[in-house]
Amino acid sequence: MSNSQTSIEAFDAVDLIHTKRDLGELSTAQIDWLVDAYTRGYVGDEQMAAMTMAIFLNGMNRREIKDLTMAMINSGERMSFTGLGKPTTDKHSTGGVGDKITLPLMPLVAVFGAAVPQLSGRGLGHTGGTLDKLESIPGWRASLTNEEMFAQLRDHGGVICAAGRGLAPADGKLYALRDITGTVEAIPLIASSIMSKKIAEGTSALVLDVKFGSGAFLKDIDRSRELARTMVALGEDAGVAMSALLTNMNVPLGHAIGNANEVRESVEVLAGAGPADVVELTVALAREMLDLVGITGVDVEAALKDGRAMDKWREVIRAQGGDPDATLPVARETHVVTAERDGVLVEQQALPFGIGAWRLGAGRARKQDPVQHAAGIDLHAKPGDTVRAGQPLFTLSADEPERFARALEAVEGAYRIGDPGEPIQDGGPLIAERIGR
């Protein structure tokens, strides 16, 4: 007999599934074994799928979530930035429509002497991916070695790149499974997924941008609040300085939804202009990130106005092989939708516009699909704006005009022009709440 046939495992996966299915609590040793056994292939996808559904239905307590997070961290390497000589501070967004905040935020925070190790991801479905956006810039590369990342943080103060495969590999395997088994929204699994990567990354401070509303991962603000509190507690337990902002994703963020067009809008913000909501959230998150590492009393808004943040952007883009002066991709075809009547734009739902941009080619249905960097939607009016009949409301862009029909289907009924004085359906203020010490 081979060793694999005679080795004795510490637990039985079926017993653990029964425990969680029947509202029981998994021990630290059981969770450690489960994550390790799944990572090395002893526990199969079908068994882990049953476990994730049991967790989705029955939840986990704070200790179990902490143990799950630590087990996923321990499945791979842990990075350390202790030799940088400057504090590290990072931001994570749960994702939304038009959320390009990482792009202007990283250079803005780096201006003030903090190091920003922004490990980012790709889009899947209606939420865009930071790496996909930046790959619109000719020459820019997402994949860096740990040594290259450290050197860029030391020399330039900021980096946006893909997480290495050695960082929490259990999470990568588990996330792919959750995505196809209807268990993505389970708060213990979301929290452990995000925080295992961020804690393993080695940042000393982390600000969470947790979305709620129509275009968010979790629509309900109470669920988003629960997720934020869970992640803040996980980070604090691991010695990371934490805070979270609950932010409104009922309406798309900014005017651009896509990839290259979101880069253009981010550069506008770095030039001291850009949409008010993008500027507001960028500044608020920058203040949080700096406060957590003790950099206070600085004028964040001034660094956008006087060109310092733009200079830092150009520096870090060049450091990753990109040309900040290059012409960004432009779609071959456009389709403009105009207002049918005079009035006020009273509604503009985020999710349908995200789906519309995805159908135009800005997103991917499968992880291996390419994105079309020039595809997307540009909004010419936001809720509260007065419009006239025939005025452009938004422009669809795509390389293949046959994509327009399905994108228009997605946004049908997602926006509405009302009469002056009619209530605006935007879900309230952009920043609803702060969580943390």
Q: Which amino acid is at 25?
A: E
Domain ranges of the chain: 3-59, 82-326, 333-418
Same fold, 3-59 and 82-326: no
193 noted as active-site residue: yes
Instruction: Give this prediction's pTM.
Output: 0.93
At 180 the pLDDT is 81
197 noted as active-site residue: yes
Q: Of the residues 92, 122, 312, 403, which is catalytic?
A: 92
Q: Where are the alpha helices (DSSP H) in 250-402?
A: 260-270, 276-292, 300-305, 308-319, 350-357
- Confirm if 245 and 123 have CB atoms less than 8 A apart: no
The first and second tokens of residue 375, run together, are: 């595809």
198 noted as active-site residue: no
- Confirm if 227 and 211 have CB atoms less than 8 A apart: no
Where does residue 405 rank: exposed (0-12), middle (13-18), buried (19+ CB within 10 A)?
exposed
- Confirm if 333 and 402 have CB atoms less than 8 A apart: no
Q: Of the residues 91, 133, 156, 197, which is catalytic?
A: 197
At 289 the pLDDT is 98
At 364 the pLDDT is 77
At 184 the pLDDT is 82
Residues 100 and 123: their CA atoms lie apart, in Å, by 12
At 2 the pLDDT is 42
At 414 the pLDDT is 97
Round the CA-based radius of gyration of the chain to a whole number and report it. Answer: 22
At 275 the pLDDT is 97
Classify domain 3-59 at the CATH class level. mainly alpha
- Which secondary structure element, helix H or strand E, spans residue 334, and what is its range? strand 333-338
- Which secondary structure element, helix H or strand E, spans residue 162, and what is its range? strand 158-162
At 367 the pLDDT is 64
Residues 3 and 50: their CA atoms lie apart, in Å, by 28
83-101 confidence digits (pLDDT tens): 898 999 999 999 899 999 9
82-326 CATH fold: Pyrimidine Nucleoside Phosphorylase; Chain A, domain 2 (3.40.1030)
At 6 the pLDDT is 53
- Confirm if 53 and 183 have CB atoms less than 8 A apart: yes
Q: Of the residues 171, 209, 277, 426, which is catalytic?
A: 171
Where does residue 366 rank: exposed (0-12), middle (13-18), buried (19+ CB within 10 A)?
exposed
Enumerate the β-bridge partners of residue 206.
90, 242
Q: Of the residues 178, 312, 359, 403, which is catalytic?
A: 178
Which residue ranges of the chain lie beneath pLDDT 70?
1-6, 124-125, 366-368
Domain 333-418 falls under CATH 3.90.1170.30: yes
